[in-house]
Amino acid sequence: YSETMELHPFVEEVLVSQDQLAKRVAELGQQISKDYEGAQQLVVICVLKGAFIFCADLIRAISGVPVRSEFLKVSSYGVSTESSGTVRIDLDLKQDIEGAHVLIVEDIIDTGLTLSHLLELLSLRKPASLNICAMLRKPTQAKVKVDAKYIGFDIPPKFVVGVGLDWSEKLRELPYIGVLKEAMYKH
């Protein structure tokens, strides 16, 4: 988002601009590259659908470490605006992660319930290491503690869209993180 870009009519305000996000992704990429220096491979698990844009940008920001991409699709939201707490795996990993260094890339940590469940599930597959990188975190919404090693931005408990985050499958394409107008989802 820049001053010349027009705000989407469903968006109340921009929380994270395109430039802020690009800068933070570069920083995260550098930190991850440093932390996994010397590793034979880093398995990056993109949690679909919300994390796909952030994950692609992040992988391009990692250097000096061979990256293998995996995808996992989990359902926890449905069409409401708050995490339901129920987690269902819709698409599982294609390859084994036993003995691998694994980085879960998530769009947003809200209640922590989804990630807590994922960590439990993936740790049973015996990876050498298991860490989390989340684009966004809503610290005030946490119901369970999830230790995420890499966080893009802490944000207030507002419904956000853009950069892969959606509202009923809409607005994922926005290049910034914006707050959805309350009138859009509260009737």
Residues with catalytic roles: 110
d(CA 20, CA 28): 12
Beta strands 150-154; 129-137: pairing state: parallel
d(CA 148, CA 105): 10
28 membership: H or E segment, kind and range: helix 18-35
Q: Where are the alpha helices (DSSP H) in 36-134?
A: 52-61, 113-123
Strands in the chain per DSSP E: 11-16, 42-48, 67-75, 88-91, 101-109, 129-137, 150-154, 160-161, 177-180
Its sign, for the CA torsion 8, 13, 16, 18, is positive
Tokens 């996000």 sit on residue: 21
d(CA 87, CA 66): 30
